[in-house]
Amino acid sequence: MNPLVELNSKKMARKDVTEVEVGDHLKVWTIISEGDKERLQPFEGDVIRIHRNGISTTFTLRKISYGVGVERIVPLYSPYLARVEVLRKGRIRRARLYYLRSLAGKNAKIQEKRFN
């Protein structure tokens, strides 16, 4: 990519982003505007993928909701992203945790990263 294009997208990106890693268990609040009212909608899940591409960087959150797997792709630099909270760091061995999709229950759990 042209360096100027890259520079430009870097300049326009918001600076207050939370650092996110694959395997993290996150809670994110997105701003939902209904008519003229705004509210925050939380979503809690594991990061199974980070797609790094400058200002277009996104991460995918996966959770099991009422027994159904739900995935949500969140743009990291979106102005609609109100808050990101890292609840747990995960011990993982891959960059993309797609294998979680074929697992259920206890098998689909990501081991917590312990810091000594």
Least separation in angstroms between residue 45's CB and other proteins is: 21
Q: Can residue 17 be called a binding residue for other proteins (CB under 8 A)? A: no
- Residues with Cβ within 8 Å of residue 53, at least 6 apart in sequence: none
Q: Can residue 32 be called a binding residue for other proteins (CB under 8 A)? A: no
Alpha-carbon span 61 to 77, nearest angstrom: 15
Which of the ranges 5-13, 21-29, 94-102, 106-114 carries the binding residues for other proteins, by CB under 8 A?
A: 5-13
Least separation in angstroms between residue 13's CB and other proteins is: 9
User: 15 and 77 in contact (C-beta within 8 Å)?
Assistant: no
Q: Which two tokens stand for residue 61?
A: 């959150």
Which of the ranges 50-58, 66-74, 88-96, 103-111 carries the binding residues for other proteins, by CB under 8 A?
A: 50-58
